[in-house]
Amino acid sequence: MNEIRRDYILNRWVIIAKNRAKRPQHFVQKPIGSREKFCFFCPGNEDTTPPEIARVEEKGRWVIRVFPNKYPATEWHEIVVETPIHGEHLGDRSVGHIVQVLKMYSERQQAIEKEPRVKYVSIFKNSGKMAGASLSHSHTQLVGLTMIPPLIKREMRAFDKDCPFCRVWRDEMKGNRVVYDDRYTAAFTPFASRFPFEVWMMPKRHVRTLDEMSKKELNSFATVLKEILSALNSSLNYPPYNFVLHYAPEGKDFHLHLELMPRLSRFAGFEFGTEITINTMPPEVAAEHYKSEIGKG
Ligand SMILES: [Zn+2]
Ligand SMILES: [Zn+2]
Ligand SMILES: [Zn+2]
């Protein structure tokens, strides 16, 4: 039977369509070639981007590069190019490199937050055309906003004496939606997943921002992110996805987490008309799939 489920925290509903449930193989993507003839993000083309803000170098060459978006959504809109290699994905990089990428998100988030009018910095990644990436070269975006976004406010409202995210990860690590569980990081397919293969991951310690994470926590977080992205890439042939990092607005309590949303389904009339989503991949099946794929690595 189909099941209607409510999100742990938000008043957000999903129909888990077991009568239309699909096998993981159904979601395997057809190969796509490189889309663009010229890439603004590749080494050698640095003069085609707005002036550089930051970089990480290895052996005299940049491996991570940050600059303003040419077509900014707000006055504070930056691009973090995560690899010099065109066609390489974030999950293909080493854990050490992913740690440096996470540190760069944190550094830029804090720098943008210093702007007096900025109340929050949205950190998100679009990977693949169907996930909204206009360029295929691996990158993440940071957008400074003059308000705390409504979604973050709704998540914040669930905090009272206890942290809802601490409760959620503890419950989930006992159940059948575990994707990865080590000493520092919990990853699971959420009970009311809106997207096939949706994953949430978070540090187990009640950490508010990336900056508050210890070296070991960051290392674990990068390892888990790499494992999950690699499992998706190898088993579903590089599906399009978004991820968002949700962290504490300045001075507020929160629990840092990353929400990863593979874009293998489309919102249609029902979703737009009701704000209820239909998901044809039960999160319990998705978790099994991740676990078997991660075991292979
Ligand atoms: Zn490129
Ligand atoms: Zn917490
Ligand atoms: Zn969130």
Q: Please give the distance, rounded to the nearest whole angstrom, from the Cα atom of residue 47 to the centre of ligand 1.
A: 14
Q: Summarize pLDDT for 138-186 with one digit per residue, the tens.
A: 999 999 999 999 999 999 999 988 999 999 999 999 999 999 999 999 9
- Measured from the alpha carbon of residue 87, the closest ligand is 1
- Which residues, other chains included, contact 54 with Cβ-Cβ below 8 Å and sequence gap of 6+? 65, 66, 104, 107, 108
Q: Summarize pLDDT for 248-292 with one digit per residue, the tens.
A: 999 999 999 999 999 999 999 999 999 999 999 999 999 999 999
Q: Summarize pLDDT for 61-111 with one digit per residue, the tens.
A: 999 999 999 999 999 999 999 999 999 999 999 999 999 999 999 999 999
Question: pTM of the full predicted structure?
Answer: 0.96
Q: Please give the distance, rounded to the nearest whole angstrom, from the Cα atom of residue 35 to the centre of ligand 3.
A: 31
Q: Please give the distance, rounded to the nearest whole angstrom, from the Cα atom of residue 101 to the centre of ligand 3.
A: 20
- Measured from the alpha carbon of residue 200, the closest ligand is 3
Question: What is the percentage of the chain residues whose pLDDT exceeds 90?
Answer: 90
Q: Please give the distance, rounded to the nearest whole angstrom, from the Cα atom of residue 88 to the centre of ligand 3.
A: 27
Q: Evaluate if residue 35 carries a pLDDT over 70.
A: no
Q: Give me the domains of the chain, ranges plus CATH numbers.
A: 3-296 (3.30.428.10)
Kindly state the greatest CA–CA separation across the chain. Answer: 59
Contact at 8 Å (CB) between 297 and 228? no
Q: Evaluate if residue 31 carries a pLDDT over 90.
A: no
Q: Please give the distance, rounded to the nearest whole angstrom, from the Cα atom of residue 245 to the centre of ligand 3.
A: 7
Q: Please give the distance, rounded to the nearest whole angstrom, from the Cα atom of residue 87 to the centre of ligand 1.
A: 7
Q: Evaluate if residue 18 carries a pLDDT over 90.
A: no
Q: Please give the distance, rounded to the nearest whole angstrom, from the Cα atom of residue 112 to the centre of ligand 1.
A: 25
Question: What is the percentage of the chain residues whose pLDDT exceeds 70?
Answer: 99
Q: Please give the distance, rounded to the nearest whole angstrom, from the Cα atom of residue 59 to the centre of ligand 3.
A: 37
Q: Please give the distance, rounded to the nearest whole angstrom, from the Cα atom of residue 44 to the centre of ligand 3.
A: 37
Q: Please give the distance, rounded to the nearest whole angstrom, from the Cα atom of residue 83 to the centre of ligand 1.
A: 9
Q: Summarize pLDDT for 187-199 with one digit per residue, the tens.
A: 999 999 999 999 9
Q: Please give the distance, rounded to the nearest whole angstrom, from the Cα atom of residue 253 to the centre of ligand 3.
A: 13
